[in-house]
Amino acid sequence: MNFDFASAMRQAAQLTRQRNLMEATRVIQRALSGRGRAVSPVDPSPERARLIAPPNASEGPAAAEPLLRNARMESAATGNAPAEERPPGRTRRPLGEVLNLLRQADRSGVGPRSAPLAKLRKAPPVLVPEGAAWLTRTFACEAGSRDYKVYVPSRADGKALPLVVMLHGCTQNPEDFAVGTSMNRLAEDLGFIVAYPRQPATANPSACWNWFNLADQRRDNGEPSIIAGITRTITAEFRIDAVRVYVAGLSAGGTMAAIMAAAYPELYAATGIHSGLAYRSATDLASAFAAMRGGSSPIEAAPMQAPQARRANGANGRVRTIVFHGASDRTVHPSNAEAILAGARAGLSDLAHEMQHDGIAGGRAYTCTVIADASGAPHAEFWEIDGLGHAWSGGSPEGSYTDPRGPDASREMVRFFLATPTQPPAR
């Protein structure tokens, strides 16, 4: 062990004793990559810590899906957050465990020595039928601002329509996500409005929603407050049926969709999570590594919503959920889908029951698990798809992170959404 590495380990140990895990992790990363002296916590220009998922050659260059922590958000990381803001049940990781995680990440291509970050996707052209609209809007609040796209079908005719909020994955953009999922085409066919918030590189260099940042997992805070503001703004601007509003996403966007459903159950009647993780699967860099590899369980957390903000979406008051995940996903381990399903099961009465059926669609075999509440209404669905990697099932090859084979995830999500029993929000 050379002097620089030993010095870095001593500094990381001191930071860990001070409960500043984020800084300790950064120091270890620099030491493992051989980039010279450890960064001091007061260094005015430290390099941002990186978290890059294992690349999968069969899923294209974007499958590495980098998840980067933005420097402006580090003050909210676990190491710097006030004690009362730390989630209950999270065990602080010993320095040796953090070091081991990072050594494994470095060997598997997810650490500091891995390939350069995937480039952001170019926005492809979006076809708009006559009479439809593809609009650009901007929303701003105390937490920040985001642009977003809105697709309004030609069949609107002044009727109150459902709204689906779509959250793209890392390196993607609204246009790419719209083309890849073909959600606009379904909106035109079935008559609903679609919104696509844009995560800019200024918020995250790889355009990832910051699902692993504690500050972006809370109601009325950070990115959740921005997405909720966009949802409310669209509902006010267009004639939206307020009890038929839904949120869905892919990967980092799917995980943020899970966060939105937990934080704002009064806004969303159902959520769709494709290749994502459960709410509060991680609160820091090390736990994010572990969660993506299927090595940890979601953190127990007290309900964040106020009583007046709850909606009786199911027997347990949770937002109804449909999940898609590839059995061959090497970016986000399939066990994360099981964790989402376990959360959906929680709180259901003993009269709830589970059904399962197998099938083949688009040339891929799948298993669909349906959990019904005591009334017999489907409360959750989980589609596990054989041979599918980290990609949107049944998606268009014109978009990124898509696989044209397998069940049509977009169509099945919309079917689940529009069949959702709705009740007015509690007063």
Q: Which residue has the tokens 């941002």?
A: 48
Q: Which residue has the tokens 């995680």?
A: 101
Residue 145, CA distances (Å) to 199, 224, 255, 284 in order? 10, 12, 20, 24
Amino acid identity of residue 269, one-letter, is A
Asked if 186 contacts 239 with a C-beta cutoff of 8 angstroms, the reply is no
pTM: 0.75
DSSP 105: H
- At 64, the pLDDT band (50, 70, 90 cuts) reads very low
Strands 240-250 and 193-197, bridge-based pairing: unpaired
pLDDT tens-digit series, residues 197-220: 999 999 999 999 999 999 999 999
Closest Cα to residue 378, out of 314, 312, 423, 310? 314
- pLDDT of 89 over the 60 cut: no
C-beta atoms surrounding 66 within 10 Å? 23
Exposure pattern of 131-155 as b/e (b: 16+ CB <10 Å)?
ebebeeeebeeebeebbbbbbbbeb
Exposure pattern of 361-382 as b/e (b: 16+ CB <10 Å)?
beebebebbbbbbeeeebbbbb
Asked if 169 contacts 392 with a C-beta cutoff of 8 angstroms, the reply is no
The reported pLDDT for the residue numbered 95 is: 53
**DSSP H/E element including 385:** strand 378-385
Rounded CA gap, 52 and 330, in Å?
12
Dihedral angle computed from the Cα positions of residues 341, 231, 53 and 277, in that order, rounded to the nearest 10 degrees:
-10
- At 353, the pLDDT band (50, 70, 90 cuts) reads confident
- C-alpha angle 303-291-14 in degrees, rounded to nearest 5: 90
pLDDT tens-digit series, residues 177-200: 999 999 999 999 999 999 999 999
Asked if 325 contacts 334 with a C-beta cutoff of 8 angstroms, the reply is yes
Rounded CA gap, 43 and 11, in Å?
13
Which domains are present in the chain? 3-47+69-107 (no CATH), 133-418 (3.40.50.1820)
pLDDT tens-digit series, residues 92-139: 555 555 555 544 443 333 332 333 456 899 999 999 999 999 999 999
Closest Cα to residue 321, out of 234, 417, 233, 228? 417
| Tokens found for residue 163 | 């709204």
Residue 233 burial (CB < 10 Å; 0-12/13-18/19+)? middle
- pLDDT of 168 over the 90 cut: yes
| Dihedral over Cα of 425, 197, 278, 244: its sign | positive
Rg (C-alpha) for the chain, rounded Å, is: 21
Q: How far is CA 36 from the centre of its chain?
A: 34
- pLDDT of 157 over the 90 cut: no
Q: Which of 1-5, 226-230, 331-335, 393-397 has the lowest mean pLDDT?
A: 1-5
Closest Cα to residue 269, out of 310, 324, 211, 220? 310
Q: Which of 94-98, 257-261, 377-381 has the lowest mean pLDDT?
A: 94-98
pLDDT tens-digit series, residues 264-293: 999 999 999 999 999 999 987 778 888 999
Q: Pick 352 or 399 by higher pLDDT.
A: 399
Strand order in the sheet with 320-326: 133-141, 144-152, 193-197, 161-167, 240-250, 270-274, 320-326, 378-385, 364-372, 353-361
| Tokens found for residue 53 | 């998922």
